[in-house]
């Protein structure tokens, strides 16, 4: 069990650029979650997958955000036309169907300048 | 929308003192989970509570789920410097009978003075 991994760990980009993050879940976990966390706040739910199916996407997400999990293994989160307000830590987590305890990756820290 | 309120936001204690954080929801929850996040780290799962009135213990940590399944608490007895971090409750909304969508509270940041 190598845990959840995320790449890159840090990303600095200019406003208006597109960025893509990758998450590799624990191999036997079929659920994968994306969260966003800003300083002093709890993780904020963005979206989650069961296998390759995207079950829900937060209404807080604009159309600039998209996530995929094409083969039910790794996932990517893309942000188009980044804005300064997108600066945050993007966390990925995975779990089994039951129990739902989630294992988090180290996160990708995005800074939009 | 669904909100989970957690208090206090900060707690500073002397090593050896007890610590409690409280979590409240306006709606009945299917279950609640607790996570700990060390400074600079990521959330780490501590426990899940499912049953009304449930109490679970992990060494010096005691977790409770309210009878109405709308509130929960985490109590740490005799804090140690290793307890430092932010403790989050996370409510599972069980959307469409599919669990796993968690709504996190704001967290309680615990600092322990040796």
pLDDT value at residue B2: 62
Residue B16 has pLDDT above 70, yes or no: yes
Residue B95 has pLDDT above 80, yes or no: no
pLDDT value at residue A1: 52
Return d(Cα B31, Cα B103) in angstroms, integer: 11
Q: Do A45 and B107 touch (CB under 8 A)?
A: no
pLDDT value at residue A90: 98
Range with the poorest average pLDDT among A105-109, B67-71, B78-82 = B67-71
Average pLDDT over residues B42-64: 96
**CB distance from B8 to chain A under 8 Å?**
no
> If you search the block for the tokens 């036997």, which residue do you land on?
A28
Residue B58 has pLDDT above 80, yes or no: yes
Going by pLDDT thresholds of 50, 70 and 90, the confidence category of residue B48 is very high
Q: Which of B10, B41, B42 to mutate to test the interface with A (most CBs of A within 10 A)?
A: B42
List pLDDT tens digits, range B24-42.
998 888 889 999 999 999 9
Range with the poorest average pLDDT among A41-50, A97-106, B8-17, B97-106 = B97-106
pLDDT-above-90 percentage for chain B: 82
Q: Do B44 and A31 touch (CB under 8 A)?
A: no
Return d(Cα A94, Cα A26) in angstroms, integer: 7
| Secondary structure of A46-59 in HEC code, one letter for each residue | EEEEECCEEEEECC
Of residues B65 and A1, the one with the higher pLDDT is B65
Candidate from B41, B48, B105 with C-beta closest to A42: B105
Residue B107 has pLDDT above 90, yes or no: yes
Average pLDDT over residues A26-54: 93
DSSP result, A68-92 = E-TTSS-EEEEE-S--GGG-EEEEE
List pLDDT tens digits, range A71-80.
889 999 999 9
DSSP, res B108: E
Going by pLDDT thresholds of 50, 70 and 90, the confidence category of residue A58 is confident
Helix (H, G, I), strand (E, B) or coil at A65: strand
Q: Do A107 and B48 touch (CB under 8 A)?
A: no
List pLDDT tens digits, range A66-107.
999 998 899 999 999 999 999 999 999 999 887 788 999 999
Return d(Cα B17, Cα B113) in angstroms, integer: 10
DSSP, res A28: T
Question: Per DSSP, what are the bridge partners of residue B40?
Answer: none
- The candidate with the shortest Cα–Cα distance to B75, out of B58, B90, B96, is B58
| B85 → chain A, closest CA residue | A40
- The candidate with the shortest Cα–Cα distance to B88, out of B105, B70, B112, is B105
Taking an 8 Å Cβ-Cβ cutoff, which residues of chain A contact chain B? 31, 33, 35, 40-45, 48, 50, 55-56, 91, 93, 95, 98-107
List, as ranges, residues 51-70 from B with C-beta within 8 Å of A: none
Going by pLDDT thresholds of 50, 70 and 90, the confidence category of residue A60 is confident
How far is the alpha carbon of A66 from chain B, nearest alpha carbon, in Å? Answer: 18
């Amino acid at each position: 069990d190598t845990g959840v991994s995320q790449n890159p760990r840090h990303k600095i980009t200019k406003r208006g650029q597109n960025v893509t993050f990758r998450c590799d879940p624990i191999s036997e976990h079929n659920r994968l979650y994306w969260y966003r966390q800003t300083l002093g706040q709890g993780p904020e739910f963005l979206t989650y997958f069961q296998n390759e199916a995207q079950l829900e996407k937060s209404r807080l997400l604009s159309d600039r955000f998209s996530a995929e999990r094409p083969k039910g293994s790794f996932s990517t989160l893309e942000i188009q036309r980044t804005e300064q307000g997108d600066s945050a830590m993007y966390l990925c987590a995975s779990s089994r169907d039951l129990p739902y305890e989630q294992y988090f990756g180290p996160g990708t820290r995005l800074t939009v300048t | 929308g669904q909100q989970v309120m957690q208090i206090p936001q900060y707690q500073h204690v002397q090593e050896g003192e007890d610590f409690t954080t409280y979590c409240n929801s306006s709606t009945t929850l299917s279950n609640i989970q607790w996570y700990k996040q060390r400074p600079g780290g990521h959330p780490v799962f501590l426990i899940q509570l499912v049953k009304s009135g449930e109490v679970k213990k992990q060494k010096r940590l005691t977790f409770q789920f309210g009878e109405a399944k709308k509130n929960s608490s985490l109590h740490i007895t005799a804090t140690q410097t290793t307890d430092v971090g932010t403790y989050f409750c996370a409510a599972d909304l069980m959307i469409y009978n599919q669990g796993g969508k968690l709504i996190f509270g704001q967290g309680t940041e615990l600092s322990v003075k040796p």
